[in-house]
Protein backbone atom coordinates (compact mmCIF):
# COMPACT_ATOMS: atom_id res chain seq x y z
CA UNK A 1 0.00 0.00 0.00
CA UNK A 2 1.30 3.41 -0.97
CA UNK A 3 -0.87 6.25 0.31
CA UNK A 4 1.12 8.74 -1.74
CA UNK A 5 0.35 6.86 -4.97
CA UNK A 6 -3.08 5.24 -4.52
CA UNK A 7 -3.84 2.14 -6.55
CA UNK A 8 -6.37 2.06 -9.35
CA UNK A 9 -9.17 -0.04 -7.86
CA UNK A 10 -11.66 0.33 -10.72
CA UNK A 11 -11.80 -3.45 -11.20
CA UNK A 12 -12.51 -3.98 -7.50
CA UNK A 13 -16.14 -4.62 -8.34
CA UNK A 14 -18.50 -7.57 -8.34
CA UNK A 15 -18.99 -9.09 -11.78
CA UNK A 16 -22.70 -8.39 -11.87
CA UNK A 17 -21.99 -4.66 -11.65
CA UNK A 18 -20.34 -4.94 -15.07
CA UNK A 19 -23.03 -7.11 -16.59
CA UNK A 20 -25.70 -4.70 -15.33
CA UNK A 21 -23.66 -1.78 -16.64
CA UNK A 22 -23.47 -3.41 -20.07
CA UNK A 23 -27.21 -4.00 -19.94
CA UNK A 24 -27.86 -0.37 -19.04
CA UNK A 25 -25.67 0.62 -21.96
CA UNK A 26 -27.62 -1.58 -24.38
CA UNK A 27 -30.87 -0.06 -23.13
CA UNK A 28 -29.53 3.48 -23.51
CA UNK A 29 -29.58 4.02 -19.73
CA UNK A 30 -25.98 5.18 -19.44
CA UNK A 31 -27.12 8.78 -19.01
CA UNK A 32 -30.07 8.02 -16.73
CA UNK A 33 -29.38 9.79 -13.44
CA UNK A 34 -29.94 7.66 -10.34
CA UNK A 35 -29.59 8.12 -6.59
CA UNK A 36 -28.13 5.35 -4.42
CA UNK A 37 -27.77 5.30 -0.63
CA UNK A 38 -25.35 3.34 1.52
CA UNK A 39 -26.72 2.57 4.98
CA UNK A 40 -26.50 -0.20 7.57
CA UNK A 41 -29.19 -2.01 9.53
CA UNK A 42 -27.55 -3.19 12.77
CA UNK A 43 -24.82 -1.84 15.05
CA UNK A 44 -22.07 -4.44 15.63
CA UNK A 45 -21.99 -6.16 19.02
CA UNK A 46 -25.48 -4.88 19.85
CA UNK A 47 -24.09 -1.42 20.51
CA UNK A 48 -25.96 1.85 20.50
CA UNK A 49 -24.02 3.48 17.64
CA UNK A 50 -21.25 2.95 15.11
CA UNK A 51 -18.38 5.18 13.96
CA UNK A 52 -18.12 6.22 10.32
CA UNK A 53 -14.68 5.64 8.76
CA UNK A 54 -13.09 4.91 5.40
CA UNK A 55 -14.25 8.00 3.50
CA UNK A 56 -10.72 9.19 2.69
CA UNK A 57 -9.86 5.84 1.07
CA UNK A 58 -13.13 5.92 -0.86
CA UNK A 59 -12.22 9.36 -2.19
CA UNK A 60 -8.74 8.12 -3.17
CA UNK A 61 -10.37 5.23 -5.04
CA UNK A 62 -12.84 7.47 -6.84
CA UNK A 63 -10.06 9.84 -7.86
CA UNK A 64 -8.31 6.92 -9.60
CA UNK A 65 -11.45 5.56 -11.26
CA UNK A 66 -10.60 4.68 -14.87
CA UNK A 67 -10.25 1.50 -16.92
CA UNK A 68 -6.73 0.71 -18.08
CA UNK A 69 -5.83 -1.07 -21.31
CA UNK A 70 -5.06 -4.14 -19.22
CA UNK A 71 -8.55 -3.96 -17.66
CA UNK A 72 -10.20 -3.63 -21.05
CA UNK A 73 -8.17 -6.48 -22.49
CA UNK A 74 -9.32 -8.74 -19.67
CA UNK A 75 -12.96 -7.78 -20.14
CA UNK A 76 -12.70 -8.23 -23.90
CA UNK A 77 -11.25 -11.68 -23.34
CA UNK A 78 -14.36 -12.77 -21.44
CA UNK A 79 -16.19 -12.68 -24.77
CA UNK A 80 -19.48 -11.30 -23.44
CA UNK A 81 -19.08 -7.53 -23.72
CA UNK A 82 -19.55 -5.72 -27.00
CA UNK A 83 -17.02 -3.28 -28.40
CA UNK A 84 -19.33 -0.23 -28.05
CA UNK A 85 -19.59 -0.89 -24.30
CA UNK A 86 -15.84 -1.42 -23.99
CA UNK A 87 -15.28 1.86 -25.85
CA UNK A 88 -17.59 3.53 -23.31
CA UNK A 89 -15.47 2.11 -20.47
CA UNK A 90 -12.28 3.27 -22.19
CA UNK A 91 -13.54 6.86 -22.03
CA UNK A 92 -15.00 6.43 -18.54
CA UNK A 93 -14.62 9.44 -16.26
CA UNK A 94 -16.32 9.76 -12.90
CA UNK A 95 -19.16 12.29 -13.10
CA UNK A 96 -21.29 11.53 -10.03
CA UNK A 97 -22.21 13.79 -7.14
CA UNK A 98 -21.49 12.30 -3.72
CA UNK A 99 -22.57 13.28 -0.22
CA UNK A 100 -21.25 11.54 2.89
CA UNK A 101 -21.20 11.69 6.65
CA UNK A 102 -17.63 12.71 7.66
CA UNK A 103 -15.28 10.18 9.23
CA UNK A 104 -15.33 9.96 12.99
CA UNK A 105 -19.06 10.76 13.18
CA UNK A 106 -21.35 8.47 15.20
CA UNK A 107 -23.83 6.84 12.82
CA UNK A 108 -27.04 4.89 13.30
CA UNK A 109 -28.99 2.20 11.46
CA UNK A 110 -31.18 3.21 8.56
CA UNK A 111 -29.69 6.60 7.77
CA UNK A 112 -27.70 7.33 4.61
CA UNK A 113 -23.96 7.26 5.25
CA UNK A 114 -23.06 7.91 1.61
CA UNK A 115 -25.38 9.11 -1.16
CA UNK A 116 -24.35 8.89 -4.81
CA UNK A 117 -26.19 10.63 -7.64
CA UNK A 118 -25.08 10.22 -11.22
CA UNK A 119 -25.25 8.19 -14.41
CA UNK A 120 -26.68 4.74 -13.74
CA UNK A 121 -23.61 2.84 -14.95
CA UNK A 122 -21.23 4.88 -12.81
CA UNK A 123 -23.34 4.84 -9.67
CA UNK A 124 -23.74 1.08 -10.02
CA UNK A 125 -20.09 0.31 -10.74
CA UNK A 126 -18.72 1.90 -7.55
CA UNK A 127 -20.95 -0.10 -5.20
CA UNK A 128 -18.42 -2.77 -4.22
CA UNK A 129 -15.54 -0.36 -3.78
CA UNK A 130 -17.69 2.00 -1.72
CA UNK A 131 -18.95 -0.75 0.55
CA UNK A 132 -15.58 -2.40 1.15
CA UNK A 133 -14.00 0.93 2.14
CA UNK A 134 -16.74 2.14 4.47
CA UNK A 135 -17.79 -1.24 5.88
CA UNK A 136 -14.32 -2.35 6.92
CA UNK A 137 -13.05 0.80 8.55
CA UNK A 138 -16.39 1.64 10.19
CA UNK A 139 -16.37 -1.85 11.73
CA UNK A 140 -12.88 -1.47 13.19
CA UNK A 141 -13.38 2.14 14.32
CA UNK A 142 -16.57 1.07 16.10
CA UNK A 143 -14.86 -1.83 17.86
CA UNK A 144 -11.90 0.34 18.83
CA UNK A 145 -14.17 2.95 20.32
CA UNK A 146 -15.91 0.32 22.46
CA UNK A 147 -12.57 -0.92 23.78
CA UNK A 148 -11.27 2.59 24.41
CA UNK A 149 -14.41 3.48 26.35
CA UNK A 150 -14.08 0.28 28.38
CA UNK A 151 -10.51 1.28 29.27
CA UNK A 152 -11.87 4.37 31.04
CA UNK A 153 -9.03 6.73 30.17
CA UNK A 154 -6.20 4.20 30.19
CA UNK A 155 -4.22 4.11 26.92
CA UNK A 156 -5.03 1.38 24.40
CA UNK A 157 -2.52 0.24 21.76
CA UNK A 158 -3.55 -1.63 18.60
CA UNK A 159 -1.42 -4.79 18.40
CA UNK A 160 -3.29 -6.79 15.77
CA UNK A 161 -1.39 -6.61 12.46
CA UNK A 162 -0.39 -10.27 12.44
CA UNK A 163 -4.00 -11.37 12.96
CA UNK A 164 -5.59 -9.05 10.40
CA UNK A 165 -7.30 -10.61 7.39
CA UNK A 166 -4.70 -9.14 5.00
CA UNK A 167 -1.92 -6.58 4.95
CA UNK A 168 -4.36 -3.92 3.70
CA UNK A 169 -6.68 -4.79 6.57
CA UNK A 170 -3.76 -4.46 9.01
CA UNK A 171 -2.80 -0.99 7.80
CA UNK A 172 -6.29 0.43 7.25
CA UNK A 173 -7.52 -1.31 10.39
CA UNK A 174 -4.85 0.51 12.38
CA UNK A 175 -5.99 3.78 10.80
CA UNK A 176 -9.60 3.07 11.70
CA UNK A 177 -8.65 2.02 15.24
CA UNK A 178 -6.83 5.33 15.69
CA UNK A 179 -9.98 7.18 14.62
CA UNK A 180 -11.86 5.13 17.22
CA UNK A 181 -9.49 6.31 19.95
CA UNK A 182 -6.50 3.96 20.35
CA UNK A 183 -3.32 5.85 21.15
CA UNK A 184 -0.81 3.88 19.09
CA UNK A 185 -0.26 0.94 16.76
CA UNK A 186 2.37 -1.76 16.49
CA UNK A 187 2.05 -1.69 12.68
CA UNK A 188 5.03 0.28 11.41
CA UNK A 189 3.59 0.79 7.93
CA UNK A 190 0.42 2.33 9.35
CA UNK A 191 2.48 4.49 11.69
CA UNK A 192 4.68 5.68 8.82
CA UNK A 193 1.90 6.27 6.29
CA UNK A 194 -0.69 7.87 8.58
CA UNK A 195 1.38 9.49 11.31
CA UNK A 196 0.03 7.25 14.05
CA UNK A 197 2.27 6.90 17.13
CA UNK A 198 4.07 3.54 17.01
CA UNK A 199 4.57 1.33 20.05
CA UNK A 200 5.82 -2.11 21.05
CA UNK A 201 7.94 -3.95 23.59
CA UNK A 202 9.57 -7.33 22.93
CA UNK A 203 8.57 -10.89 22.05
CA UNK A 204 8.98 -13.99 24.19
CA UNK A 205 11.55 -15.15 21.63
CA UNK A 206 13.86 -12.29 22.73
CA UNK A 207 13.82 -13.61 26.26
CA UNK A 208 14.29 -17.20 25.10
CA UNK A 209 17.21 -16.24 22.85
CA UNK A 210 19.50 -15.41 25.78
CA UNK A 211 21.04 -17.77 28.35
CA UNK A 212 18.80 -16.28 31.03
CA UNK A 213 15.83 -13.99 31.46
CA UNK A 214 18.00 -11.56 33.40
CA UNK A 215 20.52 -11.31 30.55
CA UNK A 216 17.73 -10.74 28.02
CA UNK A 217 16.30 -7.92 30.12
CA UNK A 218 19.71 -6.40 30.75
CA UNK A 219 20.66 -6.25 27.08
CA UNK A 220 17.29 -4.77 26.13
CA UNK A 221 17.60 -2.08 28.81
CA UNK A 222 21.11 -1.24 27.59
CA UNK A 223 19.88 -0.92 24.01
CA UNK A 224 16.62 0.92 24.72
CA UNK A 225 16.88 2.65 28.09
CA UNK A 226 14.19 5.22 27.33
CA UNK A 227 10.70 3.90 28.09
CA UNK A 228 12.08 0.41 28.67
CA UNK A 229 9.15 -2.03 29.04
CA UNK A 230 10.10 -5.65 29.81
CA UNK A 231 7.95 -8.70 29.03
CA UNK A 232 7.83 -10.64 32.29
CA UNK A 233 5.66 -13.71 31.63
CA UNK A 234 7.97 -15.94 29.53
CA UNK A 235 8.71 -18.16 32.54
CA UNK A 236 7.05 -17.00 35.75
CA UNK A 237 5.74 -13.47 36.31
CA UNK A 238 6.09 -13.30 40.08
CA UNK A 239 8.98 -15.67 40.79
CA UNK A 240 11.35 -14.53 38.05
CA UNK A 241 9.91 -12.02 35.59
CA UNK A 242 9.23 -9.06 37.87
CA UNK A 243 12.25 -9.69 40.16
CA UNK A 244 14.57 -9.82 37.13
CA UNK A 245 12.99 -6.66 35.73
CA UNK A 246 13.53 -4.88 39.06
CA UNK A 247 17.14 -6.07 39.17
CA UNK A 248 17.77 -4.62 35.69
CA UNK A 249 16.04 -1.39 36.63
CA UNK A 250 18.35 -1.17 39.65
CA UNK A 251 21.58 -2.11 37.86
CA UNK A 252 21.17 -0.54 34.41
CA UNK A 253 18.57 2.23 34.42
CA UNK A 254 18.86 3.76 37.88
CA UNK A 255 22.66 4.37 37.64
CA UNK A 256 22.03 6.06 34.28
CA UNK A 257 19.40 8.32 35.83
CA UNK A 258 16.61 6.77 33.73
CA UNK A 259 13.25 5.74 35.11
CA UNK A 260 11.88 2.46 33.71
CA UNK A 261 8.91 2.39 31.39
CA UNK A 262 7.47 -0.66 33.11
CA UNK A 263 6.56 -4.28 32.47
CA UNK A 264 4.17 -6.17 30.19
CA UNK A 265 2.13 -9.22 31.16
CA UNK A 266 0.82 -11.31 28.27
CA UNK A 267 -0.68 -14.38 29.94
CA UNK A 268 -2.19 -15.76 33.11
CA UNK A 269 -4.67 -14.23 35.51
CA UNK A 270 -3.99 -10.61 34.71
CA UNK A 271 -6.02 -9.18 37.58
CA UNK A 272 -4.13 -11.25 40.17
CA UNK A 273 -0.71 -10.94 38.53
CA UNK A 274 -0.97 -7.19 38.04
CA UNK A 275 -1.77 -6.65 41.72
CA UNK A 276 1.19 -8.78 42.81
CA UNK A 277 3.48 -7.10 40.30
CA UNK A 278 2.37 -3.64 41.39
CA UNK A 279 3.21 -4.43 44.98
CA UNK A 280 6.68 -5.68 44.05
CA UNK A 281 7.41 -2.66 41.85
CA UNK A 282 6.22 -0.22 44.49
CA UNK A 283 8.27 -1.88 47.23
CA UNK A 284 11.34 -1.69 44.97
CA UNK A 285 10.91 2.05 44.53
CA UNK A 286 9.25 2.06 41.11
CA UNK A 287 5.68 3.27 41.70
CA UNK A 288 5.88 5.09 38.36
CA UNK A 289 6.69 1.92 36.38
CA UNK A 290 3.66 1.13 34.23
CA UNK A 291 2.01 -2.25 33.91
CA UNK A 292 0.95 -3.01 30.35
CA UNK A 293 -1.23 -6.05 29.66
CA UNK A 294 -2.21 -7.94 26.54
CA UNK A 295 -3.45 -11.49 25.68
CA UNK A 296 -6.68 -11.72 23.64
CA UNK A 297 -8.36 -8.82 25.38
CA UNK A 298 -11.63 -7.22 24.36
CA UNK A 299 -13.91 -4.54 25.80
CA UNK A 300 -15.57 -6.94 28.25
CA UNK A 301 -12.31 -8.30 29.67
CA UNK A 302 -10.92 -4.77 29.88
CA UNK A 303 -14.02 -3.63 31.75
CA UNK A 304 -13.88 -6.60 34.09
CA UNK A 305 -10.22 -6.04 34.88
CA UNK A 306 -10.97 -2.49 35.91
CA UNK A 307 -13.97 -3.62 37.98
CA UNK A 308 -11.68 -6.13 39.71
CA UNK A 309 -9.25 -3.31 40.57
CA UNK A 310 -6.50 -4.80 38.42
CA UNK A 311 -3.35 -2.65 38.54
CA UNK A 312 -3.22 -2.03 34.82
CA UNK A 313 -1.98 1.21 33.28
CA UNK A 314 -2.51 0.43 29.59
CA UNK A 315 -3.79 -2.28 27.26
CA UNK A 316 -2.50 -3.86 24.07
CA UNK A 317 -5.36 -5.26 21.98
CA UNK A 318 -4.78 -7.56 19.03
CA UNK A 319 -7.05 -9.98 17.20
CA UNK A 320 -10.30 -9.01 18.90
CA UNK A 321 -9.83 -5.44 17.70
CA UNK A 322 -8.27 -5.75 14.25
CA UNK A 323 -10.85 -8.36 13.13
CA UNK A 324 -13.75 -7.24 15.35
CA UNK A 325 -13.82 -10.92 16.18
CA UNK A 326 -17.05 -10.90 18.18
CA UNK A 327 -19.05 -9.39 15.29
CA UNK A 328 -16.87 -9.27 12.18
CA UNK A 329 -19.29 -7.93 9.57
CA UNK A 330 -20.48 -4.36 9.21
CA UNK A 331 -23.61 -4.92 7.17
CA UNK A 332 -23.65 -1.77 5.06
CA UNK A 333 -25.74 -2.04 1.90
CA UNK A 334 -26.16 0.12 -1.20
CA UNK A 335 -29.67 0.58 -2.57
CA UNK A 336 -31.38 2.59 -5.30
CA UNK A 337 -33.41 5.43 -3.75
CA UNK A 338 -34.55 7.54 -6.71
CA UNK A 339 -34.26 8.26 -10.42
CA UNK A 340 -33.94 11.87 -11.51
CA UNK A 341 -36.35 12.99 -14.20
CA UNK A 342 -35.27 15.20 -17.12
CA UNK A 343 -37.00 18.18 -15.46
CA UNK A 344 -34.83 17.77 -12.33
CA UNK A 345 -37.52 16.23 -10.15
CA UNK A 346 -37.04 12.82 -8.56
CA UNK A 347 -38.97 9.58 -8.98
CA UNK A 348 -38.60 7.83 -5.60
CA UNK A 349 -37.76 4.11 -5.57
CA UNK A 350 -38.26 1.63 -2.75
CA UNK A 351 -37.28 -1.95 -1.99
CA UNK A 352 -40.05 -3.84 -0.21
CA UNK A 353 -39.36 -6.76 2.09
CA UNK A 354 -41.36 -9.06 4.33
CA UNK A 355 -39.06 -7.80 7.07
CA UNK A 356 -39.88 -4.21 8.00
CA UNK A 357 -36.28 -3.45 8.94
CA UNK A 358 -35.15 -4.36 5.39
CA UNK A 359 -37.55 -1.97 3.71
CA UNK A 360 -35.67 0.99 2.22
CA UNK A 361 -36.41 4.69 2.52
CA UNK A 362 -37.03 6.24 -0.90
CA UNK A 363 -35.97 9.59 -2.39
CA UNK A 364 -32.83 11.68 -2.20
CA UNK A 365 -32.47 12.64 1.43
CA UNK A 366 -30.76 14.83 3.99
CA UNK A 367 -29.74 13.72 7.50
CA UNK A 368 -30.12 16.25 10.29
CA UNK A 369 -28.65 15.77 13.75
CA UNK A 370 -30.59 17.52 16.47
CA UNK A 371 -28.56 18.94 19.36
CA UNK A 372 -29.81 20.19 22.70
CA UNK A 373 -28.71 23.81 23.00
CA UNK A 374 -28.20 23.61 26.77
CA UNK A 375 -26.12 20.42 27.01
CA UNK A 376 -24.74 20.21 23.47
CA UNK A 377 -25.76 16.55 23.38
CA UNK A 378 -27.09 14.85 20.27
CA UNK A 379 -30.76 14.04 20.80
CA UNK A 380 -31.93 12.42 17.57
CA UNK A 381 -31.37 12.17 13.83
CA UNK A 382 -34.03 13.42 11.45
CA UNK A 383 -34.14 12.18 7.85
CA UNK A 384 -35.89 14.45 5.37
CA UNK A 385 -36.30 14.86 1.64
CA UNK A 386 -33.12 16.57 0.42
CA UNK A 387 -34.60 20.06 -0.07
CA UNK A 388 -37.07 19.99 2.80
CA UNK A 389 -36.63 22.94 5.20
CA UNK A 390 -35.99 22.15 8.86
CA UNK A 391 -36.95 24.81 11.38
CA UNK A 392 -36.26 24.22 15.07
CA UNK A 393 -36.99 27.77 16.26
CA UNK A 394 -40.32 26.68 17.74
CA UNK A 395 -39.25 23.15 18.56
CA UNK A 396 -39.52 20.09 16.36
CA UNK A 397 -41.67 16.98 16.80
CA UNK A 398 -40.40 13.60 15.68
CA UNK A 399 -42.35 10.36 15.46
CA UNK A 400 -41.28 6.74 15.19
CA UNK A 401 -41.54 5.64 11.53
CA UNK A 402 -42.79 2.17 12.56
CA UNK A 403 -44.72 2.80 15.79
CA UNK A 404 -46.08 6.11 14.53
CA UNK A 405 -48.05 6.91 17.68
CA UNK A 406 -44.77 7.44 19.55
CA UNK A 407 -43.80 11.10 19.37
CA UNK A 408 -41.32 13.39 21.04
CA UNK A 409 -40.95 17.15 20.78
CA UNK A 410 -37.51 18.73 21.09
CA UNK A 411 -37.29 22.37 22.12
CA UNK A 412 -34.34 24.75 22.45
CA UNK A 413 -32.41 22.73 19.92
CA UNK A 414 -30.33 23.09 16.76
CA UNK A 415 -30.40 20.90 13.65
CA UNK A 416 -27.27 20.36 11.54
CA UNK A 417 -27.16 18.56 8.19
CA UNK A 418 -24.44 15.93 8.64
CA UNK A 419 -24.52 14.62 5.04
CA UNK A 420 -21.96 16.89 3.37
CA UNK A 421 -20.96 17.33 -0.30
CA UNK A 422 -17.89 15.36 -1.43
CA UNK A 423 -18.16 15.53 -5.25
CA UNK A 424 -20.27 17.70 -7.52
CA UNK A 425 -20.72 15.93 -10.87
CA UNK A 426 -17.30 14.34 -10.58
CA UNK A 427 -15.50 17.43 -9.25
CA UNK A 428 -14.15 16.97 -5.73
CA UNK A 429 -15.33 19.75 -3.42
CA UNK A 430 -14.29 18.23 -0.09
CA UNK A 431 -10.92 18.59 1.62
CA UNK A 432 -10.21 15.58 3.83
CA UNK A 433 -9.27 16.59 7.37
CA UNK A 434 -6.10 15.20 8.92
CA UNK A 435 -6.28 11.92 10.78
CA UNK A 436 -5.67 13.78 14.06
CA UNK A 437 -8.61 16.08 13.31
CA UNK A 438 -10.84 13.09 12.51
CA UNK A 439 -9.81 11.36 15.74
CA UNK A 440 -10.43 14.47 17.83
CA UNK A 441 -13.80 15.01 16.15
CA UNK A 442 -14.75 11.41 16.90
CA UNK A 443 -13.91 11.79 20.59
CA UNK A 444 -15.85 15.05 20.78
CA UNK A 445 -18.92 13.68 19.04
CA UNK A 446 -19.00 10.48 21.08
CA UNK A 447 -18.82 12.62 24.23
CA UNK A 448 -21.95 14.40 22.95
CA UNK A 449 -23.97 11.17 23.09
CA UNK A 450 -25.94 10.33 26.20
CA UNK A 451 -24.32 7.70 28.42
CA UNK A 452 -27.42 5.53 28.01
CA UNK A 453 -26.68 5.26 24.26
CA UNK A 454 -23.10 4.21 25.04
CA UNK A 455 -24.01 1.20 27.22
CA UNK A 456 -22.57 -2.11 26.00
CA UNK A 457 -25.64 -4.10 27.01
CA UNK A 458 -29.13 -2.97 26.06
CA UNK A 459 -28.20 0.58 25.08
CA UNK A 460 -30.94 3.16 24.82
CA UNK A 461 -32.18 3.35 21.23
CA UNK A 462 -31.12 6.60 19.66
CA UNK A 463 -33.97 8.14 17.68
CA UNK A 464 -33.63 8.06 13.88
CA UNK A 465 -36.93 9.29 12.49
CA UNK A 466 -38.38 10.35 9.16
CA UNK A 467 -39.99 13.69 8.44
CA UNK A 468 -43.73 13.51 7.93
CA UNK A 469 -43.30 14.41 4.25
CA UNK A 470 -40.76 11.62 3.68
CA UNK A 471 -42.82 9.11 5.68
CA UNK A 472 -45.90 9.94 3.59
CA UNK A 473 -43.85 9.55 0.41
CA UNK A 474 -42.89 6.05 1.49
CA UNK A 475 -46.45 5.14 2.48
CA UNK A 476 -47.78 6.33 -0.87
CA UNK A 477 -45.21 4.22 -2.69
CA UNK A 478 -46.12 1.19 -0.58
CA UNK A 479 -49.83 1.64 -1.33
CA UNK A 480 -49.16 2.05 -5.05
CA UNK A 481 -46.94 -1.02 -5.27
CA UNK A 482 -49.34 -3.05 -3.15
CA UNK A 483 -52.21 -2.23 -5.52
CA UNK A 484 -50.12 -3.46 -8.48
CA UNK A 485 -49.54 -6.90 -6.98
| CATH number of the domain encompassing residue 115 | 3.20.140.10
* Residues 253 and 359 occupy one common structural domain: no
* Residues 290 and 341 occupy one common structural domain: no
Distance CA 285, CA 266 (A): 23
In this structure, is residue 436 part of a structural domain? yes
Tell me the pTM. 0.96
In this structure, is residue 392 part of a structural domain? no
Q: How many domains does the chain have?
A: 2
* Residues 265 and 362 occupy one common structural domain: no
In this structure, is residue 151 part of a structural domain? no
* Residues 458 and 335 occupy one common structural domain: yes
Distance CA 259, CA 243 (A): 16
* Residues 42 and 126 occupy one common structural domain: yes
* Residues 100 and 19 occupy one common structural domain: yes
* Residues 100 and 208 occupy one common structural domain: no
In this structure, is residue 190 part of a structural domain? no
| CATH number of the domain encompassing residue 260 | 3.20.20.70
**309: how many CB neighbours lie within 10 A of its CB?**
10
Q: Collect all residues with Cβ–Cβ distance below 8 Å to 170 and sequence separation of at least 6.
A: 160, 161, 162, 164, 187, 189, 190, 322
Q: Answer with the one of 295, 314, 346 that is the final residue of a domain.
A: 295
In this structure, is residue 38 part of a structural domain? yes
In this structure, is residue 238 part of a structural domain? yes
Walk along the chain (485 residues) and give the pLDDT tens digit of each residue. Answer: 555 567 889 999 999 999 999 999 999 998 899 999 999 999 999 999 999 999 999 999 999 999 999 999 999 999 999 999 999 999 999 999 999 999 999 999 999 999 999 999 999 999 999 999 999 999 999 999 999 999 999 999 999 999 999 999 999 999 999 999 999 999 999 999 999 999 999 999 999 999 999 999 999 999 999 999 999 999 999 999 999 999 999 999 999 999 999 999 999 999 999 999 999 999 999 999 999 999 999 999 999 999 999 999 999 999 999 999 999 999 999 999 999 999 999 999 999 876 777 789 999 999 999 999 999 999 999 999 999 999 999 999 999 888 889 899 999 999 999 999 999 999 999 999 999 999 999 999 999 999 999 999 999 999 999 999 999 999 999 888 877 76
* Residues 211 and 288 occupy one common structural domain: yes
In this structure, is residue 152 part of a structural domain? no
Q: Answer with the one of 271, 295, 319 that is the final residue of a domain.
A: 295
In this structure, is residue 129 part of a structural domain? yes
* Residues 284 and 429 occupy one common structural domain: no
* Residues 346 and 459 occupy one common structural domain: yes
* Residues 79 and 127 occupy one common structural domain: yes
* Residues 219 and 106 occupy one common structural domain: no
- 248 — phi, psi (to 5°)? -70, -40
Domain extent, residue 248, equals 201-295
Q: Collect all residues with Cβ–Cβ distance below 8 Å to 309 and sequence separation of at least 6.
A: 271, 275
**CA–CA distance from 259 to each of 217, 219, 232, 249, 255 (Å)?**
15, 16, 17, 8, 10
Amino acid sequence: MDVKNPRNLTMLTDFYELTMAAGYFEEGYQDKICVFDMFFRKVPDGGGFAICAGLEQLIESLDQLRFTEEDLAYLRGLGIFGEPFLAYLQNFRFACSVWAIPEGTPIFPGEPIVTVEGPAIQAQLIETMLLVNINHQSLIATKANRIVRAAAGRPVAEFGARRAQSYDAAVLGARAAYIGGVQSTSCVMAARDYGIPVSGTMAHSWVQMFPSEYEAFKKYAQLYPQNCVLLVDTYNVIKSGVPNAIRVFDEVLRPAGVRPGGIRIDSGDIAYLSKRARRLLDEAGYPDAKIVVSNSLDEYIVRDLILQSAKVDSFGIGENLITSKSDPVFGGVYKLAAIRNPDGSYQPKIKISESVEKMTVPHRKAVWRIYDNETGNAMADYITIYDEPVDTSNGITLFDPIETWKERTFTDCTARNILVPIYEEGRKVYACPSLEEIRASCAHQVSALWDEVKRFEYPHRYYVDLSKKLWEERQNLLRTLSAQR
